[in-house]
Amino acid sequence: MAKVQAPIKKNDYIDVIFEDLTHDGNGVAKIDGYPLFIPNGLPGEKAKIKVTKLNKGYGFGRLIELYEESDHRVEPPCSIYSQCGGCQLQHLSYEGQLLAKEKQVRDVLERIGKLKEIKVHPTLGMDTPWRYRNKSQVPIGEHEGGLIGGFYRQRTHDIIDMKECFIQLEENDIVLQKVKAICGKYGVKAYNEKTNKGTLRHVMVRSGKVTGEIMVVFITRTQDLPNQKKIIEEISRDIIGIKSIVQNVNPKRTNVIFGEKTKVLWGEEVIYDLIGDIKFAISARSFYQVNPEQTKVLYDKALEYANLSGEETVIDAYCGIGTISLFLAQQAKKVYGVEIVPEAIEDARKNAELNQMTNVEFAVGEAEVVIPDWYKKGIEADVLVVDPPRKGCDQSLLDTIIKMKPKKVVYVSCNPATLARDLRILEDGGYKTMEVQPVDMFPQTMHVECVALMSRVEK
């Protein structure tokens, strides 16, 4: 393939108009059709930029001066927003964020799925799009002899010390500051990834938004936590709502946060929270949605699309700890859930028991293996729900859906691009996409979740 000749040079200063946003929140400007990605640029703005890097088909730049600002530009409330990589859209008004996410979904459905006539609803947002994350997980480091904890500076492993984060629950910020201070007081050393020395790698705080119950998790390199007894004594005394203190040991030289060994140091193994009327047990390593308020919005929409009468059999592929399964079980005759992670299925069964739901059954395994096996045994779904990881559905699962012919497929997605790809495959296999509802689960970031309804077309 011939090398694309960029119409500009590195270190050039040029005037541009931003046309769009990328999926990670950068402004897009084009010079003779050659795209440049510039952090902090918003569609419609005129600006001077400096070209910082040129690749074969696209380049990067830095915003130097704004000549004309977007009506949707706002001042970010966070003092470390420009350094931290946690959010991408604090400089865009919330109304602008919801519009950008709707556009992103519409664009990928058309570009990747070739789905042009699909009804894409306006994004369902939050009344207050701040302080929503119920899980805080920060790397720990040292600066001038004291412990620091926060987020990594963009594209580095330098920790920016954080006093508060505007997308995390306020109580989690308070707990993190207390835990940091207590550990520092008792001489706990931060893990140093260069030397592979030190003890404390990460601290995680989980909170039940409805229950107010709190769990603190220490992720350590070593089996021992120095002065453990005194640290536990102070945390359990000083933190209101604390129900669980847990240690996870990760001795490996790795970027992966968790190790294999987890032990309870004090209190309970789990904390509880509710989404709607359904109660969930959350352990240190449970997958549980970080924005339960919007999770209910998402699942209510999935339930609405399923439109159950109480007589249907439903299959929930990629069921996790059973969150969607239990929502569906409120209105279905029978729900079957499948998930590849054994611990998640263990949690799902406990959650079904916790909510006294007997019309739901869970199996461990790959959805693309288990569901065909169920099909052979005569288990047929009236409605099939999928909520896959970012990579989307496995091809063999899509083939099984087409073969099984459920009347409806409700597709819950965290990645519009793979959603568009999979909808196209299902459309070619005899389904029609009726509508797509974007839901804003992660305000101030470019992430958007969707629920899509597909119906079987009878030929």
46 Cβ contact partners less than 8 Å away, ≥ 6 residues apart = 15, 16, 17, 66, 67, 68
Beta strands 313-317 and 383-386 are parallel
> Of 205, 204, 203, 200, nearest to 189 (Cα)?
200
Backbone dihedral angles phi then psi of residue 453, each to the nearest 5 degrees: -105, 125
Q: DSSP letter at 399?
A: H
Query: Which residue from 366, 373, 374, 365 is spatially nearest to 395, judged by alpha carbons?
Result: 366
Q: What are phi and psi of 31, to 5 degrees?
A: -115, 110
Joined tokens for residue 286: 């449970």
Amino acid code (one letter) for 262: T
pLDDT over 70 for what percent of the chain?
Answer: 99
Separation in Å, CA 144 to CA 22, 141, 148, 153, 195: 38, 10, 10, 18, 18
With beta carbons less than 8 A apart as the criterion, state whether 121 and 437 touch.
Answer: yes
Shared fold status for 13-68 and 99-127+291-456 = no
Do residues 83 and 160 make contact, with C-beta atoms less than 8 angstroms apart? Answer: yes
Dihedral angle at the C-alpha atoms of 359, 363, 368, 370, nearest 10 degrees? -90
Distance separating alpha carbons of residues 36 and 59, to the nearest angstrom: 5
> CA-CA distance, 52 to 11, in Å (whole number)?
6
Q: What is the CB neighbour count within 10 angstroms for residue 310?
A: 9
99-127+291-456 — its CATH code? 3.40.50.150
In whole angstroms, what is the distance from residue 165 CA to residue 439 CA? Answer: 22
CA 308 to chain centre: 28
Residue 348's pLDDT is what?
Answer: 95
Length, in residues, of the chain: 459
CB 175 within 8 A of CB 216: yes
Domain ranges of the chain: 13-68, 99-127+291-456, 135-275
Residue ranges in the chain modelled with pLDDT below 50:
1-2
For residue 276 the two structure tokens come to 């709607």
331/304 Cα distance (integer angstroms): 10
Cα separation, 28 vs 24, in Å, equals 11
CATH 2.40.50.1070 fits 135-275, yes or no: yes
Architecture in CATH for domain 13-68: Beta Barrel (2.40)
Tell me which residues are annotated as active site: 414
In this structure, what DSSP letter does residue 57 have? S
**Cα 459 to Cα 447: distance, rounded to the nearest angstrom:** 37
247: which strand partners?
218, 263
C-alpha span between 16 and 68 (Å, rounded): 11
Structural contact between residues 328 and 385, judged by C-beta atoms closer than 8 angstroms: yes
Burial letters 79-96, b for 16+ CB under 10 A, else e = ebbeebebbbbbbbebeb
Task: Evaluate whether 384 touches 456 at the Cβ level (below 8 Å).
Answer: no
> Using CA atoms, how far apart are residues 182 and 54, in angstroms rounded to an integer?
47
Q: DSSP per residue over 255-266, as a string?
A: S----SEEEEEE
Degrees (nearest 5) of the Cα angle 177, 180, 183?
145
Question: What pLDDT is attached to residue 459?
Answer: 64
pLDDT at position 137: 94
> What is the distance between the alpha carbons of residues 431 and 419, in angstroms, rounded to a whole number?
14
Question: Do β-strands 214-220 and 200-207 pair in parallel, antiparallel, or remain unpaired?
Answer: antiparallel
Predicted local confidence at residue 2, as pLDDT: 47
Instruction: State the pairing for strand pair 408-413/360-364.
Output: unpaired
Maximum Cα interatomic distance, the chain, rounded to a whole number of Å: 72
Q: What is the pTM of this model?
A: 0.92
- β-pair partners for 266: 245
Q: Is 327 helix (H, G, I), strand (E, B) or coil?
A: helix
Pairing of strands 59-68, 46-54: antiparallel
